[in-house]
Structure 1
């Protein structure tokens, strides 16, 4: 007896709440942006169409001994091409940095919860270091909206590796490196403009934990709403391994599936 099988189309799977499984895609380019920092692009129509700001993708090493994927926030999308930006910190990221156009790589995604960017607002995107890439996607999405304006506030250790990518999407792009100050330095410079603007202000932020807590405190003292995308070490990226748990007011939650986006109220940072 032959058993009939049904394979849903991408549209049908999406409507039903299902996403494509791990799959092999084509690398379209790898470019070094700064010392140890690279931008990798690959072709995947589903991720390109569905990736929301702060969502991430898993990339998998070709080495079978390295089973855990590496999660990277989607940086930007052009057509069916998806970009991620990462620093070389170990075997997997070193492997990815050495790839060339035409190579193949396994991906899974998009994963995680996104920033809520549905409101009419002036969005201030505050990023530090390798927390900047997910904010590039946020700027790209918001740039298509007539009811939103975007200011980016980026802090770098030294080289400004992402400024060229955000410039087409931001109404105003500010950046600073460690020799000049930090993101709080820039926020204080534009505080008057934020207070007197026509739209309510919402801060979207991603970066090191110490920076996020400083931004949370700065914003709380000025009654500005915030959303934070947390950077936590992940094992699987989809809620099975329980490596990326974080303490919240509702108990311990998984950054990969309950986040990576949380509000300061959820994190208990408002006290």
Structure 2
């Protein structure tokens, strides 16, 4: 059996100081809590990820079970000081293991990984997410909060419990959410259309749609944006192996051929994906 190399904090610090991306390393968990049925928020301490993570980037978390070789990718949902949070659904053995960890336990991480949302321009960013696509949009709102020339509106869809509204409302200028009993995110976008387009007409800049969630939802969001000629960036959710482009497991069809979600994405424009044209 091949032993796993787990670098110490000093080794990670030396790698960063030398200008290298830090390897897989062990961090301390500071909090684990259930937000809703089978929805868990896990927080760990990692100064490098906390400083360098960008909206829609993800981290790999590794199981303590040597039989589970592949890590689980999770979008960064919030950063506070040197602490990084992720939110996930408990859907299998790996996520069940993570949900049973406690403050003071350790876990191996790698990240941040992937290409982030492009948010340099001043705009009204409309953060559209559904289900477990919500967490990366919380962090997007956090990164955009208080920036001059920028407004944010969160448009979230849930199956039932509105587990993330309290988090995103700390940062977004406006939060609107809906669950399956009422409709979906397109229902909300239709309701908000007048306000969103009026913002652009008043010189505040066209809305820019940033979205993450189930594939049918994102295709519908892309079509909604295309019909109104609005820019739309989509963070793809895909099964991954390595998380950095070696295993070629997470490919997605684009107008430029098959690309890797982990390395070429996870963020793509609707034009790249050929959606809503």
Q: Same fold (TM over 0.5)?
A: yes
Which residue of the partner structure matches residue 221 of structure 1?
Answer: 227
C-alpha distance in 1, partners of 2:15/2:243? 24
Does 1:29 find its partner at 2:26? no
Q: Once the two structures are superposed, what CA deviation does each residue of 1:45-93 show, in whole Å capped at 9, x if it has no partner? A: 0000000000000000000000000000000000000000000011110
Indicate conservation of the 8 Å contact 2:219/2:276, yes or no. no
Residue 82 of structure 1 corresponds to 84
* Aligned: 1:249 with 2:255: yes
Residue range with higher mean Cα deviation, 261-270 or 68-77: 261-270
**Which residue of 253, 256, 260 corresponds with 2:266?**
260
Q: Where does residue 96 of structure 2 map in the other structure?
A: 94
- Measure the CA separation in 1 of the matches of 2:15 and 2:61: 23
For structure 1, the residue ranges without an aligned partner over 5 or more in a row are 1-6
The Cα of 1:144 is off from its aligned counterpart by 3.2
Alpha-carbon distance in structure 2 between the residues aligned to 1:29 and 1:225: 37
Aligned residues: 261
1:1-271 correspondence runs (5 A): 8=14, 10-13=16-19, 18-197=20-199, 198-271=204-277
Q: Does the 8 Å contact 2:70/2:241 carry over to 1? A: yes
Structure 2 residue ranges without an equivalent (≥5): 1-12
Using the TM superposition, give the Cα deviation of residue 9 of structure 1 relative to its aligned residue in structure 2, in angstroms: 5.5
| Corresponding position of 1:3 | none
Q: For residue 259 of structure 2, give the secondary structure of its aligned residue in structure 1.
A: strand
In 2, Cα distance between the equivalents of 1:208 and 1:193? Answer: 26
**1:11 positional shift:** 4.6
The root-mean-square deviation of aligned C-alpha atoms, in Å, is 1.0
> By how many angstroms is 1:269 displaced?
1.1
C-alpha deviation, 1:248, in angstroms: 0.6
Measure, in 2, the Cα distance between the counterparts of 1:114 and 1:88.
Answer: 25
Q: What CA distance in whole angstroms lies between the structure 1 residues aligned with 2:252 and 2:28?
A: 34
Deviation, structure 1 residue 199: 2.1
**1:182 Cα shift?**
0.3
Q: Secondary structure at the match of 1:190?
A: helix
